[in-house]
């Protein structure tokens, strides 16, 4: 047994979603379709941003990282969820549960930090346009991105530590569809008060601090937009930030309600639905939101398609 054979539980069983057999098939194909679209959309953005000289600026550099992160985040949970929807016995090993917990926490923290970094980038672009190229040069972009990924990776050791220090003697049924700290705490046969408090403080620090940075950035952006005399300039500045604001609202709205507003870790049907929203649905919407009204991505995509057609028929 991992961690010095302290726990008698060697596997966990997910309760998943309480739905009938016919609805299980519908849910399976719905989630599968969303997942495939998520992979396709985010992979398309990464493949467009990386090689295109027209998209070599900080905004698209962060967007490419964000899309790659969304692929990783959903892939940690969704494939296993799809298998479990059709299976009666929804089991995961103790070690597998810890690994899923670690990577979910890591990618979730990284997403919060990347979203706040993208907000800071928009703040510099709109509030300090003359100094933007020097303030957000390529080396700064790389450092901010590396920091986001590294901080997410290191920060995720805290929820992992909070779980590994607990004893699990049974029962082993998790009232959720994936492993997260809040759903594992009620299964422990030891005192969880310290772990619950630590997890609440950790989630509050990551989610609230990053969201405050985003709010501060957009408050400054709003003031700058209101001072802009040109209506065309106001519209352009608003369109630049609208996509990011939509993604932030979707992600943080569900995240704050799930992990901060309900620190006791209630795993009701509502919380499962919210988790499904930010893990499955939101990553699918991101490529749509960022590319739907983005003329530069449209132009690069059109040029790429034309090159492929030309190569095929020449």
Per DSSP, helices labelled H in the chain are 2-5, 21-49, 58-86, 94-127, 132-135, 138-155, 157-164, 181-184, 193-227, 231-255, 269-276, 282-292, 295-313
The 10s digit of each residue's pLDDT in 114-160 is: 999 999 998 998 888 889 989 999 999 999 999 999 999 998 898 89
Check pLDDT > 80 for residue 11.
yes
3-state SS assignment for residue 91: strand
Q: pLDDT of 79-102, one tens digit each?
A: 999 999 988 889 999 999 999 999
What value does the mean pLDDT of the chain take?
Answer: 83
Which residue has 């300090």 as its token pair? Answer: 128
For CA atoms 266, 268, 270, 271, the dihedral sign is: positive
Measure the CA–CA gap between 117 and 305, rounded to whole angstroms: 31
| Contact (CB, 8 A) for 259 and 182 | yes
Measured CA to CA, the distance from residue 104 to residue 85 in angstroms comes to 20
* CA triple 113-115-121, angle to 5 deg: 105
Q: In what order do the strands lie in the sheet with 11-14?
A: 91-93, 11-14, 173-174
Q: Which band of pLDDT confidence, cut at 50, 70 and 90, is reported for residue 242?
A: confident
Q: Which CATH number fits domain 9-313: 1.20.1060.10, 1.20.1070.10, 1.10.150.20, 3.90.1150.10?
A: 1.20.1070.10
Q: For the chain, what are the domain ranges?
A: 9-313
Rg (CA), the chain: 21
């Amino acid at each position: 047994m991992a961690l010095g054979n302290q726990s008698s539980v060697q596997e966990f069983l997910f309760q998943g979603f309480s739905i009938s057999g016919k609805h299980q098939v519908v849910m399976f194909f719905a989630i599968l379709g969303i997942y495939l679209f998520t992979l396709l959309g985010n992979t398309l953005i990464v493949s467009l941003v990386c090689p295109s000289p027209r998209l070599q600026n900080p905004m698209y550099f962060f967007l490419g990282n964000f899309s790659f992160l969304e692929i990783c985040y959903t892939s940690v949970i969704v494939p296993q969820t799809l298998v479990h929807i059709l299976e009666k016995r929804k089991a995961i090993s103790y070690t597998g549960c810890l690994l899923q917990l670690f990577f979910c926490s890591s990618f979730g923290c990284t997403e919060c930090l990347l979203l706040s970094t993208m907000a800071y980038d928009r703040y510099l672009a709109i509030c300090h346009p003359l100094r933007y190229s020097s303030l957000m040069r390529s080396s700064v972009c790389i450092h901010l991105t590396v920091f986001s990924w590294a901080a997410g990776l290191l920060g995720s050791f805290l929820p992992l530590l909070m779980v590994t220090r607990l004893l699990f003697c049974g029962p082993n049924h998790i009232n959720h569809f994936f492993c997260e700290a809040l759903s594992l705490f009620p299964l422990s046969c030891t005192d969880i008060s310290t772990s619950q408090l630590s997890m609440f403080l950790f989630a509050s620090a990551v989610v609230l601090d990053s969201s405050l940075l985003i709010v501060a950035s957009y408050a400054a952006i709003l003031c700058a937009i209101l001072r802009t005399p040109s209506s065309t300039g106001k519209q352009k500045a608003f369109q630049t930030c609208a996509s990011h604001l939509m993604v932030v609202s979707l992600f943080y709205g569900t995240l704050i309600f799930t992990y901060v507003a309900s620190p006791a870790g209630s795993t009701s049907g509502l919380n499962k639905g919210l988790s499904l929203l930010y893990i499955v649905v939101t990553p699918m919407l991101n490529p749509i939101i960022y590319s739907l009204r983005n003329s530069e991505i449209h132009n690069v995509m059109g040029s790429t398609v034309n090159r492929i057609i030309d190569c095929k028929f020449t």
